[in-house]
């Protein structure tokens, strides 16, 4: 027997990707609203009330309004930032701990993680939770990302023949240190203070790497690169969609870490580079996969009580 799924915001980048991942599944019946009714609150509410699960792929304010429209008639998965730090909602990153997974499995309301936040939290949560990094460490992170995560308008600009000259180079943004993912990154990494975060949008379609450098001389307790790598390997030993790469020796000197390698895939890779004095943590993922629609489908699978990788591998 199939479950009924409605995607509110099915025409957006994330919504379309979720449709692509679900429309061929025999255990899913996709409810699709007529094009002329996409902004009709009454018609949208009807779809939500009919659905077993509803994805919200909307701007924050619209997502909050949609939750009110839905009431308690459907189980909700919100891909906006509107509810990610709300303690009443499950946070959709089951690999972080058994507690995260259990809350997600039983929840009627799940906040799907952000793309940058997924990479960042995959690195910092284990570091803090396992006592290798203090919660008050002054964390700095930077990230390179494809343009697809910026939405339809940005995609059209990047793919147009007359795109601005500057779009051909990496462009830093969120320079005021007020990126919308920061509250989520701080909370689920277990940090006392918000991290500094430097996102960089680049001229390729999809994929990202989030990097966090650590100067071990600033720590009260000495840690080594091998210790950090072993911790990650143990922490994610049972994870199906998070893979910890072995620690590199001499080969890392000539190694290039591309940001688009996992484009189109639904997994996340963790790397540990550097040495015992300067450790560089990196998480690579597809901003539209494990960073958005892939994560949303993984959350749906867990809420349905089936294998989390269904339709993702």
DSSP of 228-239: HHHHHHHHTTT-
Which residues are known to be catalytic?
A: 115
Helices of type H across 164-283: 182-189, 225-235
Predicted local confidence at residue 12, as pLDDT: 87
Cα(277)–Cα(217) distance, integer angstroms: 7
Residue 211 DSSP SS3: strand
Cα(8)–Cα(21) distance, integer angstroms: 15
Q: What length does the chain have?
A: 313
Burial class (CB in 10 A: 0-12, 13-18, 19+), 221: exposed
Predicted local confidence at residue 56, as pLDDT: 97
Q: How do 140-145 and 90-91 pair as beta strands?
A: unpaired
Predicted local confidence at residue 204, as pLDDT: 95
DSSP per position, 153-173:
HHHHHHHSTT--GGGGS-EE-
Cα(289)–Cα(266) distance, integer angstroms: 5
Q: How many CB atoms lie within 10 A of CB 170?
A: 11
Predicted local confidence at residue 23, as pLDDT: 92
Helices of type H across 54-151: 60-70, 98-106, 115-129
Predicted local confidence at residue 37, as pLDDT: 93
Predicted local confidence at residue 152, as pLDDT: 83
Per-residue pLDDT of the chain (313 residues; tens, 9 = 90+): 799 999 999 888 899 999 999 999 999 999 999 999 999 999 999 999 999 999 999 999 999 999 999 999 999 999 999 999 999 999 999 999 999 999 999 999 999 999 999 999 999 999 999 999 999 999 999 999 999 988 888 899 999 999 999 999 999 999 999 999 999 999 999 999 999 999 999 999 999 999 999 999 999 999 999 999 999 999 999 999 999 999 999 999 999 999 999 999 999 999 999 999 999 999 999 999 999 999 999 999 999 999 999 999 8
- Residues sharing a CB contact under 8 Å with residue 265, sequence separation 6 or more, in sequence order: 286, 289, 290, 294
Cα(171)–Cα(149) distance, integer angstroms: 14
- Residues sharing a CB contact under 8 Å with residue 82, sequence separation 6 or more, in sequence order: 60, 61, 63, 64, 111
Burial class (CB in 10 A: 0-12, 13-18, 19+), 64: middle
Helices of type H across the chain: 13-22, 41-50, 60-70, 98-106, 115-129, 152-159, 182-189, 225-235, 294-304
């Amino acid at each position: 027997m199939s479950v009924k799924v409605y995607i509110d915001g099915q025409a957006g980048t994330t919504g379309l990707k979720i449709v692509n991942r679900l429309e061929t599944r025999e255990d899913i019946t996709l409810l699709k609203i007529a094009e002329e009714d996409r902004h009709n609150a009454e018609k949208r509410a009807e779809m939500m009330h009919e659905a077993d699960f509803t994805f919200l792929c909307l701007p924050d304010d619209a997502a909050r309004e949609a939750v009110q429209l839905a009431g308690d008639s459907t189980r909700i998965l919100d891909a906006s930032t509107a509810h990610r730090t709300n303690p009443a909602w499950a946070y959709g990153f089951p690999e972080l701990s058994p507690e995260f997974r259990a809350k997600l499995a039983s929840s009627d309301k799940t906040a799907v993680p952000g793309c940058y936040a997924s990479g960042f939290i995959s690195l910092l949560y284990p570091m803090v939770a396992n006592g290798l990094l203090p919660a008050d460490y002054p964390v700095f992170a930077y990230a390179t990302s494809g343009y697809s995560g910026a939405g339809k308008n940005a995609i059209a600009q990047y793919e147009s023949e007359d795109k601005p000259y500057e779009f051909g180079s990496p462009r830093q943004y969120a320079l005021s240190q007020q990126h919308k993912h920061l509250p989520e990154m701080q909370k689920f990494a277990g940090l006392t203070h918000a991290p500094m975060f430097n996102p960089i949008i680049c001229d390729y379609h999809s994929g990202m790497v989030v990097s966090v450098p650590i100067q071990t001389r600033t720590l009260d307790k000495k840690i080594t690169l091998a210790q950090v790598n072993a911790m990650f390997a143990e922490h994610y030993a049972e994870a199906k969609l998070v893979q910890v790469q072995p620690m590199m020796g001499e080969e890392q000197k000539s190694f290039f870490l591309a940001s688009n390698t996992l484009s189109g895939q639904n997994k996340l890779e963790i790397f540990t580079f550097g040495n015992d004095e300067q450790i560089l943590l990196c998480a690579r993922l597809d901003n539209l996969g494990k960073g958005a629609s892939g994560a949303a489908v993984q959350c749906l699978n867990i809420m349905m009580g089936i294998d989390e990788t269904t339709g993702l591998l």
